Amino acid sequence: MPMTDNNPPSAVTRRLGLAMLASSLIAGGARDAAAGAQGQMNIAVHISLSPTWFDPSETNSLITPYLLMYGMHDAMMKPMREASPGLSLAESYTMSPDGLTHTFVLRPGLTFHNGDPLTSDDVKFTYERYKGTSAALLRERIASLETPDPRRIVIKLKEVWPDFLLFYTGATGANWIVPRKYIEKVGDAGFRKAPVGAGPYKFVSYDAGLELVLEAFEPYWRKSPSIKRIVMKVVPDEATRLIALKRGEFDFAYSIRGELAAEVQHTPGLSLKVASDGATYWMYFPEQWDAASPWSNPKVRRAAALALDYVAINNALSLGLSRVTSNFIPRHLAFYWPSPPPVYDPAQAVKLLAEAGYPGGFDAGSYHCDSSYANLGEAAVNGLAAVGIKAQLRPLERAAFDKGFTDKRYKKGIIQGSSAAFGNAATRLAVWVVQGGPYVYGSYPEIDALYPLQANELDVGKRTAILHKMQQTIYEKDMFVPLWQLGFINAVGPRVAESGIGLIKGFVYTGPYEDLTLKEK
């Protein structure tokens, strides 16, 4: 049974383990040891590079650290081009029939950048040292991590946990392997100053927050990188990034949006690269559980869903490069339910409002949103106004907005939510839908009742059915009105043959680094 989009990580069985073993042997056979890395790729980065991202033990609930981790480090399993998660440092993975024992076998002859062999002891050390996101959860659920020989790692769980692989290999840095000997020698601070990993590129130099230089690690197991040197420079201003790209100072620039992205389209030699697995954005109606509010009427929520011209908004704000969707769960996450495409029908929206008792519309109050995406909020507010639902845009800087959201201060009006957090459909539902979630203002008993049924379900088919049912119910109730799944737009210069953007499902940055190529002169 191959690992596919419809066959999420927790579906791994012994048969799948064998299939993965076979695929890893094929990948190993494809290793290109002869090619010598050449040239330099200069990347303009939109965000300050933090040395905490050099150390997988520090990964928090942000995707950004993986921007560097995919270059300098490697994991036993991680989201790959071929599969998500796919085998990387591990050549095989198997799960016992009872779901309690998970065995990984490392590839032979692996080394870190400093030449130290990479063994199961390093895997154990990495896990024990890990203190980033969900560290407590992993420790709570994992009974033991044993290393019977230098290549074998056996993880035993206290109880069945269908999302073990998701958390261990996808949503945390706990299986991104760091070298025990080196860290014990130089300490944590020393490691952050001069990190040593097992990834396709090794660390050369770092100027705090400004520049990072990486060099190809030619013995990398998957294949030798083709570009000798990668230089990442932080250029915070978007317009400056674009100008520098146009001048050839960079080969690649992260995050070029709106009008600047349109400028890229009109510039010969430059092109846009979109990672379409970004965050989803949606409208949420915190008053839908208040019987006195118009939002408690399903017809009103449906009217709001019908009021927005999703395609036009997408075209206007992101050159049509985002995805319109009617499911607030991103398409790339496991257990995603493929909802019907969203419909724009303002006439029907007006009719539904009239049927609900609001023939002239109503005043919905505030539309709360993160100021970074106030433009999307503005488009939504305009769309709602066109059918008679009046709302005032209240953009707030991200941290303040998020705090207001989780503190449940936006009890009235509309909230524009979004999330790019790791996980699968179940983790998203826990946070945004099910009673007790940090962003949940109210819940529906029929949805809440389904959630625990899937939590310990090892049968993927049954679990998928439950999670699909939950998403379908959410869709039918118009609990959320999704606006889009954001396309993360980047610009690429004429020297780049492969930018790595969009190659790994669910990953918005460049990767795998060893696949990056420059055009031959």
73 in contact with other proteins (CB under 8 A) = no
Q: Which of 1, 22, 35, 208 binds other proteins (CB under 8 A)?
A: 208
491 in contact with other proteins (CB under 8 A) = no
Cα(136)–Cα(147) distance, integer angstroms = 21
Q: Which of 134, 288, 339, 454 binds other proteins (CB under 8 A)?
A: 134
Paired strand residues for 42: 231
Count of chain residues binding other proteins (CB under 8 A):
52
23 in contact with other proteins (CB under 8 A) = no
Nearer to other proteins, 223 or 394 (CB): 394
What part of residues 233-272 is at the interface with other proteins (CB under 8 A)? Answer: 233-237, 239-240, 243-244, 246-247, 249
- What's the min distance (Å) between Cβ of 399 and other proteins? 4
Nearer to other proteins, 143 or 400 (CB): 400
Name which of 200, 270, 212 is nearest 516 in CA terms: 200
Nearer to other proteins, 390 or 409 (CB): 409
Nearer to other proteins, 44 or 89 (CB): 44
What part of residues 417-446 is at the interface with other proteins (CB under 8 A)? Answer: 417-422, 428, 431-432, 438-439
Nearer to other proteins, 15 or 408 (CB): 408
211 token code pair: 């520049």
192 in contact with other proteins (CB under 8 A) = yes
Segment lying near other proteins (by CB under 8 A), choices 176-184, 359-367, 402-410, 456-464: 402-410
Q: Which of 58, 74, 91, 457 binds other proteins (CB under 8 A)?
A: 58
416 in contact with other proteins (CB under 8 A) = no
Cα(467)–Cα(439) distance, integer angstroms = 19
455 in contact with other proteins (CB under 8 A) = no
230 in contact with other proteins (CB under 8 A) = no
Which x/- pattern over 79-108 shows residues binding other proteins (rule: CB under 8 A)? ------------------------------
What part of residues 359-378 is at the interface with other proteins (CB under 8 A)? Answer: 370
As a whole number of angstroms, the longest Cα–Cα distance in the chain is: 73
Paired strand residues for 484: 281
In the sheet that holds 252-253, the strands lie side by side as 201-207, 211-216, 227-234, 38-45, 252-253, 488-492, 271-275
Residue 453: phi, psi to the nearest 5?
Answer: -65, -30
Cα(497)–Cα(225) distance, integer angstroms = 14
Cα(186)–Cα(178) distance, integer angstroms = 13
209 in contact with other proteins (CB under 8 A) = yes
135 in contact with other proteins (CB under 8 A) = yes
DSSP letter (8 states) at residue 36: P
Segment lying near other proteins (by CB under 8 A), choices 76-84, 129-137, 174-182, 372-380: 129-137
Paired strand residues for 391: 365
Paired strand residues for 428: none
Interaxial angle between packed helices 374-386 and 298-307, expressed in degrees from 0 to 180 and rounded to the nearest 10? 110
Strands 414-419 and 142-149, by their bridges, are: unpaired
Cα(390)–Cα(464) distance, integer angstroms = 38
Which x/- pattern over 31-50 shows residues binding other proteins (rule: CB under 8 A)? -----------------x-x
Residue 52: phi, psi to the nearest 5?
Answer: -65, -25
378 token code pair: 């503005």
63 in contact with other proteins (CB under 8 A) = yes
Query: How many Cβ atoms are within 10 Å of 144's Cβ, its own excluded?
Result: 10
- Are the C-beta atoms of residues 78 and 220 closer than 8 Å to each other? no
Segment lying near other proteins (by CB under 8 A), choices 378-386, 416-424, 487-495, 499-507: 416-424
398-417 burial, b for 16+ CB within 10 Å, e for fewer? eeebbeebeeeebebbbbbb
Helix (H, G, I), strand (E, B) or coil at 278: coil
- What's the min distance (Å) between Cβ of 255 and other proteins? 14
Segment lying near other proteins (by CB under 8 A), choices 99-107, 134-142, 160-168, 473-481: 134-142
Segment lying near other proteins (by CB under 8 A), choices 15-23, 201-209, 377-385, 445-453: 201-209
194 in contact with other proteins (CB under 8 A) = no
Task: Report CA torsion sign: 473, 476, 481, 483.
Answer: positive
What is the H or E stretch that residue 1 is in? none
- What's the min distance (Å) between Cβ of 233 and other proteins? 6
57 in contact with other proteins (CB under 8 A) = no
Please work out, in degrees rounded to the nearest 5, the angle formed at the alpha carbon of residue 419 by the alpha carbons of 417 and 423: 140
The footprint of other proteins (CB under 8 A) covers 48, 50-52, 58, 60-63, 133-137, 192, 207-210, 233-237, 239-240, 243-244, 246-247, 249, 279, 370, 397-400, 402-403, 405-406, 417-422, 428, 431-432, 438-439
